[in-house]
């Protein structure tokens, strides 16, 4: 069966493309190789995928005409691509284009596939707002352009399911970390600052933030678990993350312990749009998908540190 993975050269997408390929699926990867962060890391991820027989196509989903690029009949679509995170450098227009318009263009392509079994939208806990502690049916209150546009894209995807145009589901991911994490993300930046004696930009109050930090391998297992459960998943939303909560301060202390280095800080004002707490309620995913994350916080950070040392 043929699987299309968008954002395949990115952090989570590249891990997932590798994993599903190992399960015997033919994977076609798609990525626009944006300059949101250094392209070198994405290019390296793409080379690793290609070395394992995975095709990676350079294409921007904000453009139309994907059907002219991909001739294979697609059976599963896993949509990781989008404008990531909360950044003062990103405009609302960039979030809207890359999270909403791009998703709409991909849906148009999906509707042309005669034997599409499931469209899997990868969403985020940011749709819940400052306190992401809720179940999937609870009210969403996003507080950032990122969260707003990801929620809009999610509803766009699920509207196609509600209209019986295709089978689709959305997975809300919680605070993913691990090897290949973007250089602007928390733990890659902390590890970099520890090892290379740089100052870490610490926003006021952020050490007390609580997160369901979830190792990327456990996230990938959760995403994979939808395969073969298309009827169960159709029209559904699932939280995918760890039930264990940790503060940013705990993360800092773990990185210092693993690297044997003290981290220096540049203290900055509070950042608007930050979540204060995420706590993944995964009862639904555990019950319907058999989802069961196992990697401890410290183990995951050890693996990420080893990866960072090797890049």
Q: How far apart are CA 171 and CA 158, in angstroms?
A: 11
* 37 included as an active-site residue: no
Residues 240 and 80: their CA atoms lie apart, in Å, by 14
- Please state, as a whole number, how many other Cβ atoms lie within 10 Å of the Cβ of residue 69: 13
Which among 146, 177, 291, 298 is annotated as catalytic?
146
With b meaning 16 or more CB within 10 Å and e meaning fewer, what string describes 266-283?
Answer: eeeeeeebebebbbbbbe
Active site residues: 146
């Amino acid at each position: 069966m043929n699987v299309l993975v968008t954002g395949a050269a990115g952090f989570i997408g590249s891990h997932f493309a590798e994993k599903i390929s190992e399960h015997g699926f033919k994977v076609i990867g798609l990525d626009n190789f944006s300059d949101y962060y250094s392209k070198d890391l994405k290019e390296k991820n793409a080379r690793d995928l290609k070395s394992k027989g995975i095709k990676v196509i350079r294409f921007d989903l904000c453009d139309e005409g994907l059907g002219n690029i991909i001739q294979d009949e697609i059976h599963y679509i896993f949509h990781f691509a989008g404008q990531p995170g909360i950044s003062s450098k990103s405009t609302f227009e960039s979030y809207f284009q890359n999270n909403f318009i791009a998703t709409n263009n991909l849906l148009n392509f999906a509707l042309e596939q005669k034997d599409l079994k499931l469209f899997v939208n990868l969403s985020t806990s940011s749709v819940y707002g400052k306190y992401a502690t809720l179940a999937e049916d609870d009210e969403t209150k996003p507080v950032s352009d990122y969260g707003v546009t990801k929620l809009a894209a999610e509803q766009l995807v699920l509207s196609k399911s509600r209209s019986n145009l295709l089978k689709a589901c959305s997975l809300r991911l919680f605070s993913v970390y691990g090897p290949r994490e973007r250089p602007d993300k928390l733990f890659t930046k902390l590890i970099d600052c520890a090892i290379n004696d740089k100052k870490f930009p610490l926003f006021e109050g952020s050490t007390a933030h609580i997160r369901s930090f979830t190792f990327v391998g456990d996230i990938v297992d959760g995403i994979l678990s939808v395969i073969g459960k298309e009827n169960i998943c159709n029209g559904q939303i699932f939280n995918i993350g760890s039930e264990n909560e940790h503060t940013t301060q705990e993360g800092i202390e773990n990185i210092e312990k693993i690297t044997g280095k003290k981290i220096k800080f540049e203290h900055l004002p509070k950042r608007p749009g930050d979540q204060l707490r995420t706590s993944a309620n995964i009862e639904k995913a555990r019950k319907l998908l058999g989802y069961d994350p196992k990697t401890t916080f410290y183990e995951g950070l050890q693996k990420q540190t080893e990866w960072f040392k090797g890049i």
